[in-house]
A and B are shown apart, each in its own frame.
Chain A
Amino acid sequence: MRPAVLLATAAGAAVLLAVPTPGWGALLGVTSAMLAATAPATPIAYPNSVVSANGGTVTGRPERFDTVTVVFSVQLSQATLCSTWTNGTSSRSVTGTVSITNGGAGNDVLTVTTVPVGTCASGFRFGSLDLGSPGYVTATRTYGTSTIALTQTVTATTLRITLGTASGAGTTVSGGSVMVYTPDPLVADLSGNRCGLNTASSPSVVQL
């Protein structure tokens, strides 16, 4: 690998000089055909963690009272999650339907599918949670009267989903992969910084 010099400005613009190994002090030769550099901004609003917990009877099987908890890095604008929510309240919840979509050979995916339109006119912008295994359901299941609860501080936002009554039984996973939470890209903090493509993964390979 050739040594290189990166010069970056405070504004983030930068240029790279690729320098040949022998004696660049004597001869500043640039040998690369494709050069570019920058100092991209690091994310501000992103999911900082996601975990699940068994609240039912069997670990690894989606059941009533199982929970998924996501913690975000910032105080989110609540209206970007649910249209009528405002940031004047630091703790609130909505009841709706959560689905686990059968992924077939692919992983099953948990989403919030239905909430009262009078509360969240455009639905609840949770995003999606890839559960890390195709084995949690053999057909798409819905969990009615699930609770989506929000708690907020000035530095973080927590969403907790508690599964309600299942439309059918799930199956038990004993070994899968980590689950990956992808927030709705439009969810943003109070300054308008969106979650974008940032994701969070669970430490555990068995969920719910």
Chain B
Amino acid sequence: MNARAGRRAGALAGLGAVALAGVFAASASSLTISAGKASAGRTPVASCGTVVSSMVSWNVVAGNVTSVTLTGLPAGCVGARVTITLRGAANAKLAEVGPVLLTGTTQRLSPLSANPGASVVLSSSLVLTGP
């Protein structure tokens, strides 16, 4: 790597670090990351929609979660791949399903990697990634 290329790589790394630091700083209160910051000069991030209002419901067999149904997903996210993770105490991962193709604004996801007791699932995280 010549000196010019090295400086360019260093600058890009710096941009990435700045962008990431900005994200962490913003995450403490609200997430206001812009597409430009995240992309660091490359492909812009295009959100497929607001998923904060999405809801999780589940099917339970004898107290254990066997499948998860997502509702209220943005229509713009259809075609993305969805992953949901169920978490317990200390944010421990209890079960996961995905990534699977999102075919509608409501989707049932199964099978889960495990069938945790419904009462010990305290939170969930939902991630949509593009094709």
Contacts and interface: CB of A to CB of B under 8 A. Distances in A.
Contacts of A27: 9, 12-13, 16, 40, 42
Interface in A25-74: 25-43, 46-49, 73
B60 A13 contact: no
Contacts of A12: 52
Interface string A184-208: 0000000000001111111100000
Nearest to B60: A200
A139 interface: no
Interface of A: 1-2, 4, 6-9, 11-18, 24-43, 46-49, 73, 178, 180, 196-203
B12 A196 contact: no
Is the contact region of chain B dominated by helix, strand, or loop, or is it mixed? mixed
B129 A9 contact: no
B61 A200 contact: yes
Given A28-B38, A203-B62, 6 more contacts: A7-B23, A9-B31, A13-B30, A16-B129, A24-B16, A40-B56
A29 B42 contact: yes
A103 B57 CA distance: 26
Interface of B: 9, 12-13, 15-16, 19-20, 23-24, 27-31, 33, 38-40, 42-52, 54-63, 66, 69-71, 74, 76-77, 79-80, 86, 99, 118-119, 121-131
B31 A15 contact: yes
Contact of A16 (B16, B44, B54, B127): B127
Contacts of A39: 123-126
Given A14-B125, A34-B77, A46-B60, A41 B55 contact: yes
B58 A34 contact: no
Given A6-B125, A200-B59, A36 B119 contact: no
Contact of A36 (B20, B49, B66, B69): B49
User: In this complex, which of A7, A9, A37 has the most chain B Cβ atoms within 10 angstroms of its Cβ?
Assistant: A37
Contacts of A30: 38-40, 42-45
Contacts of B55: 40-41, 196-197
B97 to A, nearest CB: 14
A47 B127 contact: no
Given A38-B52, A46-B57, A73 B130 contact: no
22 contacts: A7-B23, A26-B9, A28-B16, A29-B42, A30-B40, A30-B43, A32-B45, A32-B129, A32-B130, A33-B130, A34-B48, A34-B76, A34-B128, A34-B130, A36-B127, A38-B126, A39-B125, A42-B56, A43-B58, A178-B61, A201-B61, A201-B66
Nearest to B44: A30
Contacts of A25: 13, 16
A28 B130 CA distance: 16
A201 B42 CA distance: 48
Nearest to A2: B129
A10 B64 CA distance: 26
A1 B99 contact: yes
Sort A-B residue pairs by CB-CB distance and give the 6 closest, nearest first.
A32-B130, A28-B16, A34-B48, A34-B130, A197-B57, A29-B42
